[in-house]
Structure 1
Amino acid sequence: MKSGLNIRKGGAEDVPAILALLDSAVVWLNGRGIADQWGTEPWSTRPKAVSLVERIVGEGTPWIAEIDGVPAGTLTLTPHPASYVAPADEPEVYVHILATDGRFHGRGVGAALLAHSVEETRRQGLSLLRVDCFAGSEGRLVEYYERQGFRRTESFTVGDGWPGQVLEQRV
């Protein structure tokens, strides 16, 4: 674990912090010309997005990465994918809403959270860890997950053409 970085188990009480992390990620993405991934409006101001975060946190286990006590990133692990991805034909751990606060980009927060996800998958006695992500922007996010040990499986499209990619890692 990087110096000053700690990963703790979260809960429903962390939803405001998770939304703040997602809001910061939107600002960071938009500042780099990426508006197609999560839009331009803060998650915390969109009722459907707030409900989605509350539902995912309620169905799974949120994890909060903190740097010197400040929330720097998050993800939530559940035993199933989002509704737009077919479940695996075996028990799995699924990564949802991985986000890093823009102030902490480049400090290994996402990588640390994903490494923690691998450990959690093993701890549960499972061998399949999956995630889906935005496949636009020249596939940069897909390539990021590949650098973290995931491999591409199926592609999908949500709504009016939001391109997505499912990736998996055997642990």
Structure 2
Amino acid sequence: MAKYNVENENVEIELERLFKVEPALLYQAWTDQRFLKQWFMTSERTNKLIHVEPKQGGEYKIVDVYKGKQNIITGQYQTLTPFEYIVMTVSMPEYSDSEDQINVEIFEREPGITQMVFNYNAYVPKERRLTTLEYKQKKKEYHDSTAHGFETLFDKLQVVLEDFENNM
């Protein structure tokens, strides 16, 4: 269940997920473009470009075209602790000037079962025309749709990891 915060101009989302893989493979799914192009804001069918520098300070860029619409996703890996922790930014320049932050904690619950704790923090500016209630509603809608979007991505990630494990 995603947690929700309406006290500031940021929307914070926390999601937890268990995967039937080793921590190293889940970490690789966040840092290796062969995996990323299959699930992270793109798919092999719609991906037109992916470039990933999986190092601290390294940047990534994804160009996805779906139904004739091009989406560009960019970001930077700020912290990489192999098989345990990732801090990265994510932005979509054609929609917003802001960069959101993603924190991913990875740890083994038991052999072959890895828990991922995902935190997402996005800035949602308050428009002057909105009342406090309208702004809180806007943030709640943003939170709910974004949390749902990430849950869908993680469903896709689970399939990608299962397919990889089954084809080893």
Q: Same fold (TM over 0.5)?
A: no
**Which is greater in Rg?**
2
TM-score (norm 2): 0.31
Higher helix proportion (structure 1 or 2): 1
Higher relative contact order (CA 8 A, sep 6+): 2
TM-score (norm 1): 0.31
